[in-house]
A = this chain, B = another copy of it.
Amino acid sequence: MKANFRCWLDNDEGEQIVGPGLYQLLIEVKKTGSLSQAAREMNMSYRTAWGKIKKIEKRVGAEVIEKTVGGKDGGGSELTSKGYELMNIYRKLKTKLETALNDLDKV
């Protein structure tokens, strides 16, 4: 048998803020410096990715990504400090649960 889990963070109103999907999207934005490229990496339309980000920004009351201007590609997107905070808290949660799971006797 194999044990599995899924984890997520809710705000104080019980609305989901970060789950596996948004976490991966934040990682891809950080990696690629572009929301449209991040969306492509996840086989998601730009519109869907943008909608996910907007929904979360509303739920946390702060911007999660921001536009960058200039550079050879004419600008892109990067995480705000709130975006980094959400990504890091989720990673911490996920790592903690993974460690607990690995500590379980083989079931």
What is A's interface to B at a CB cutoff of 8 Å?
1-12, 14, 17, 89, 92-93, 96-97, 99-101, 103-104, 107
Which listed residue, B2, B9, B17, B101, touches A97 by the CB 8 Å rule?
Answer: B101
Copies in the complex: 2
Interface of A is mostly: mixed
Q: How far is the CB of A40 from chain B (nearest CB, A)?
A: 28
User: What 9 A-B pairs are tightest by C-beta distance, nearest first?
Assistant: A100-B100, A5-B7, A2-B10, A89-B107, A1-B9, A3-B93, A96-B100, A5-B5, A6-B6
Q: List 22 A-B contacts (CB under 8 A).
A: A1-B9, A1-B10, A1-B11, A1-B12, A1-B17, A2-B11, A2-B14, A3-B7, A3-B9, A4-B7, A4-B8, A5-B6, A5-B97, A9-B107, A93-B107, A96-B100, A96-B103, A96-B104, A97-B97, A97-B100, A97-B101, A100-B100
